[in-house]
């Protein structure tokens, strides 16, 4: 059972941060999304083992995610289903993660900040909902969402909150439930984007 998580294209907020965090795609973001849509049409193989054949397309209700999903809907011939639990955090998630004293020091443990715990629960609910759809349909699900949520889902399946990573706009990430465990298949798959279109 596979879940594909695509980050939205570059947003206007990324170019000019403001109080309005629910902004639309930038011109570059539209081009990134268009390229991803084209790639979805022509590539059904991610690698020798992984096929890209989603049966359901979900999106965060935020404008940048819905606009990105629109390009994919046209290419995949799937309707966009808005899923509120895919919404991005309203704070910088990385600032809430635990910090170790040194590179190989053990994670300090203790309680996680309340707002991160709440967002983590939201991400877990989003993953549970996507998993339910994949189980019910017997097909992979593609969700267009946000960097903070994707990274938190990856932390959930890895069973640790002690790492962070950089995710690129319109990159594809994939996880799979197989043989009683989660597997992270792809992080930042961006073959469809030339270097000049790769942004974070």
pLDDT of 72 reads: 98
What is the CATH code for 2-100+108-197? 3.40.50.1240
- Size of the chain in residues: 200
Q: Is the pLDDT of residue 44 over 80?
A: no
pLDDT digits (tens, 9 = 90+) for 176-188: 999 999 999 999 9
Predicted confidence (pLDDT) per residue in 133-169, tens digit: 999 999 999 999 999 999 999 999 999 998 999 999 9
pTM of the model: 0.94
Spell out the domain ranges in the chain: 2-100+108-197
Average pLDDT, integer, range 44-60: 84
The reported pLDDT for the residue numbered 100 is 80
**Residues forming a β-bridge with 3:** 141, 175
pLDDT recorded at residue 82: 99
What tens digit of pLDDT does each residue of 72-111 get? 999 999 999 999 999 999 999 988 888 887 888 777 677 8
């Amino acid at each position: 059972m596979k879940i594909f998580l695509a980050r939205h294209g570059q947003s206007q907020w990324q170019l000019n941060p403001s109080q309005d965090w629910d902004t639309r795609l930038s011109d570059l973001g539209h081009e990134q999304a268009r390229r991803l849509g084209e790639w979805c049409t022509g590539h059904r193989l991610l690698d020798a083992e992984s096929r890209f054949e989603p049966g359901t397309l979900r999106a965060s209700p935020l404008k940048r995610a819905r606009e990105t999903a629109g390009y994919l809907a046209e290419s995949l011939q799937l309707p966009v289903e808005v899923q509120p639990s895919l919404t991005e955090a309203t704070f910088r998630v990385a600032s809430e993660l635990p910090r170790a004293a040194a590179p190989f020091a053990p994670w300090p443990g203790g309680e996680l900040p309340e707002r991160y715990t709440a967002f983590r629960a939201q991400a877990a609910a989003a993953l549970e909902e996507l998993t339910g759809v994949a189980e019910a349909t017997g097909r992979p699900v593609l969700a267009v969402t946000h960097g903070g949520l994707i990274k938190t889902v990856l932390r959930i399946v890895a069973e640790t909150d002690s790492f962070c990573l950089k995710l690129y706009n319109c990159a594809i990430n994939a996880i799979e439930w197989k043989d009683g465990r989660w597997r992270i298949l792809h992080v930042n798959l961006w073959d469809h984007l030339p270097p000049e279109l790769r942004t974070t």
